[in-house]
Amino acid sequence: MAQQNIITKDRDVPVDRIRNIGIIAHIDAGKTTTTERILFYTGSSYKLGDIDDGNTVMDWMEQERERGITIVSAATTTFWKDVRFNIIDTPGHVDFTAEVERSLRVLDGAVSVFDAEEGVQSQSETVWRQADKYKVPRIVFINKMDKLGANFENCVNDIRTRLDVDTLPMVYPIGQESSFKGVVDLLTRKTMLWDKDETGLTYETLDEVPADLVDKVEEYRAALIEKIAENDEALMEKFFAGEELSVEELKATLRKMVIGYKVVPIYCGTALRNKAVQPVLDAVVDFLPSPADLKEIVGVDPATGEEKIRKLVQDEKLTVLAFKIQLDPHVGKITYARVYSGVLKSGASLYNVQSRERERVSRILLMHANQREEIDAAYAGEIVALVGPKGTRTGDTLCEENDQITLEQISFPDPVISLAIEPKTKSDQEKLSYTLQRLGDEDPTFQAKVDHDTGQTIISGMGELHLEILVDRMQREMGLNVTVGKPQVAYRETIKKSAQAEGKYIKQSGGRGQYGHCMIRVEPLGRGEGFKFINEIKGGTIPSEFIPSIEKGVIEAMDKGVLLGSPMTDLQVAVYDGSFHDVDSSDIAFKIAGTMALQEAAKKADLVLLEPIMKVEVTVPEEFMGTIIGDISSRRGRVLGSDKRGNSIVIQALAPLAEMSGYVTTIRSLTQGRGVPYMEPAHYEEVPSNVVERLRSQKV
């Protein structure tokens, strides 16, 4: 009989007893439900939270409970078998990808949740690749084993082939769909049954394997042991000598394999029906790394640019990474941070390497979703919330001023969609800039700017849902009422060939005049490379103090665009010649000359418009396949292929975001409510000339 452990409140646990983990997955795979069960079985929550009932601990925002989705990553701390879990439950919806990105940056391990019927879905692939980027070791939990169409073996094969990883099933399910009642642990050959206690808190452990599964269990177990033995010479010798390998030896080697990023252990169960979640908790303890396993973090010395190493222990110099900003109505600005090394004490003064300012930490909070507990100190390996830092932003490194280090920054994708907002009243107008700044501090993928031609405020984000939630938050949390325009696609402009041009600004007005003159060369860069500025001036034809002004003028012209008023990207600008006047030359004159030169050069360089292309996946019953493919084609989309999944067909396509407005509603009406669409940004592509002409005529 499994017993619930007693939670210890002693937070100063050894570093090897800490697990910083995240729950990652596609939308609707069951991340939040899995996290709720973890909190229940570890004793942190005394009630089984349910998304449908709107009483989950981790989805605490009103918008999350209304929509049944996770919007912000929530952090919490709990204990299992004397091991401290710092858990972050991340969103599954692609519009909130920044939340996943910044969470993975500070995690040591992750539990990746998959739907037993759907297998690998688009967003599960995206978050898997994000975890690859930060080299986060993972275990897999195949959820929803009770669902119609659930198939453990198909799901394992799907993960192996589509994600190109070495999968190691650690359990085998007893029954599938409605008959699922437990699992067999392949290492110990023990059977675990959850068919007596509805809460799943207690379960029955038997020493024998069900008779109808003996052959299957032995087949899977042999493959598991062989794979583990291959990775250890001593085990390999014993294996070939026909000796029995102990469970402890196998677990120790498997732990090294998981931390070394070689294999992914796979478990299965159903979080909603409270079955087989506890083996996943044991696996987190057994196989995912503690800060002690990772030993150190590599950064850069900001003074020399050389590599600098910090050991992940308490008696090392203090190193803290701010990974999220949240604005709390009661406390004010909260900075979520990971303490990598040293001890952070309440009241301490830290140095922000990026802003080069000192920040005072007035309070340290231990977070449990939106509940908090004040603590005196945070130790190496902890994830905590800080109150006090004012100028700290997402991705900033905080450390001691006399021993500085910069940790790797967190990168975020650019927004792909915009809409215009206008305040309804004068008091709303006064609140607007403060509100937009607050939201921008919290969310690095949210941008706001004023269109000086129309006087409108334009907000940009990762998708229609993202902007909808932000506008909703403006109204509910900040009491700001705005009128919202139609969503607009974030077009970009670029060039296809090299060109040269001259910018000359001369103004005489009685007294001192203005004189700025520069010659530039523009060249195209690869897609996604952004902007580079090169100074090729030799012999002082333009004094060095005016070069930054030319660059400012070039950037200003790029922001305004030349073809259709969209920002320019993917080009290199070199200033190679020019002239100056001893008296009349000024920063402003060279800035205007830089703007003029860029506009002139761009017109000669074969200007093109780029648009965001979306990766589209639509899951539909087979009879609607033709209708959906026809609809995608009518939206300038390209169908890439389709897969059969159970009784449904999954159609994959690429389509321009400009043609996908209101797509969710369209799919529902075309499929009698049975189609499920999914979209995520893929890349930018050139807009066909006939579409550019249409956009031009609309602008005029």
Any domain includes 232: no
Residue 203: which of 280, 276, 144 has the closest Cα? 276
On whether both 529 and 578 belong to a single domain, the answer is yes
Whether 254 is in a domain gets the answer no
Residues 452 and 463 in one domain: yes
Give the CA count within 13 Å in the CB-facing half-sphere of 609.
21
112 lies in the same domain as 174 = yes
Structure-model confidence comparison of residues 591 and 432, the more confident one: 591
What are 323-328's contacts with CB under 8 Å, separation 24+? 323/102, 323/103, 323/105, 323/106, 323/394, 323/395, 323/410, 324/73, 324/99, 324/102, 324/103, 324/394, 324/442, 325/392, 325/393, 325/394, 325/441, 325/442, 326/72, 326/385, 326/442, 327/438, 327/441, 327/442
Residue 631 has pLDDT above 70, yes or no: yes
The last residue of a domain, from among 433, 467, 490: 490
pLDDT in tens, 140-169: 999 999 998 899 999 999 999 988 899 999
Do 448 and 465 lie in one domain? The reply is yes
Let me know whether 79 and 182 are in one domain: yes
Residue 416 inside a domain? The answer is: no
Q: Are residues 66 and 163 in the same domain?
A: yes
Note whether residue 537 is domain-resident. yes
Model confidence at 476, pLDDT cuts 50, 70, 90, reads confident
Question: Does a structural domain hold residue 2?
Answer: no
Residue 512 lies inside a defined structural domain of this protein: yes
Query: CATH number of the domain that 581 lies in?
Result: 3.30.230.10
Last residue of a domain, one of 605, 640, 668: 605
Alpha carbons 362 and 21: distance in angstroms, whole number: 27
Q: What mean pLDDT comes out for the span 609-622?
A: 89
685 pLDDT higher than 60: yes
- The first and second tokens of residue 88, run together, are 């972050």
CATH number at residue 440: 3.30.70.870
Q: How far apart are CA 578 and CA 542, in angstroms?
A: 6
Reported as a pLDDT band with limits 50, 70 and 90, residue 384 is confident
Look at residue 433 in the predicted model and tell me its pLDDT.
85
Residue with tokens 């996908």: 660
What token pair was written down for 401? 């001023």
At which of 441, 464, 490 does a domain end? Answer: 490
Which DSSP symbol is given to 179?
G
| Position 133 pLDDT exceeds 50 | yes
Strand, helix or coil for residue 254: helix
Question: What pLDDT, on the 0 to 100 scale, is given for residue 369?
Answer: 52
| Whether residue 19 is found in the same domain as residue 40 | yes
* pLDDT of 202 higher than 70: yes
Q: What is the pLDDT of residues 531-579, one digit of tens each?
A: 999 999 988 899 999 999 999 999 999 998 998 888 999 999 999 999 9
Instruction: Determine the average pLDDT of the residues in 31-59.
Output: 62
Classify residue 408: in a domain, yes or no: no
Structurally, the chain folds into a number of domains equal to 5
Residue bearing the bigger pLDDT, 249 or 29: 249
For 663, the domain range is 611-699
Q: Is the pLDDT of residue 33 over 80?
A: yes
Higher pLDDT pick, 569 / 334: 569
Q: Which two tokens stand for residue 4?
A: 């619930």
Residues 596 and 650 in one domain: no
Name the pTM for this structure.
0.72
Say how far apart CA 555 and CA 532 lie, in whole Å.
10
Reduced to 3 states (helix: H, G, I; strand: E, B; else coil), residue 591 is: helix
Query: Same structural domain for residues 374 and 429?
Result: no
Do 533 and 468 fall within a single domain?
no
Asked which of 64-68, 183-187, 413-417, 597-601 is least confident by mean pLDDT, the reply is 64-68
Q: Estimate the share of the chain in helix, then strand, then coil, as percent rounded to the nearest 5.
A: 30, 35, 35
Residues 646 and 617 in one domain: yes
Residue 165 lies in a domain: yes
The average pLDDT across 486-503 equals 90
- Give how far the C-alpha of residue 514 lies from the chain's centroid of Cα atoms, to the nearest Å: 48
Strands 109-115 and 18-25: parallel
pLDDT score recorded for residue 57? 44
Burial 504-541 (b: 16+ CB within 10 A, else e): bbeeeeeeeebbbbbbbbbbbeeeeeebebeeebeeee
190 and 136 together in one domain: yes
- Read off the CATH number of the domain in which 667 is found: 3.30.70.240
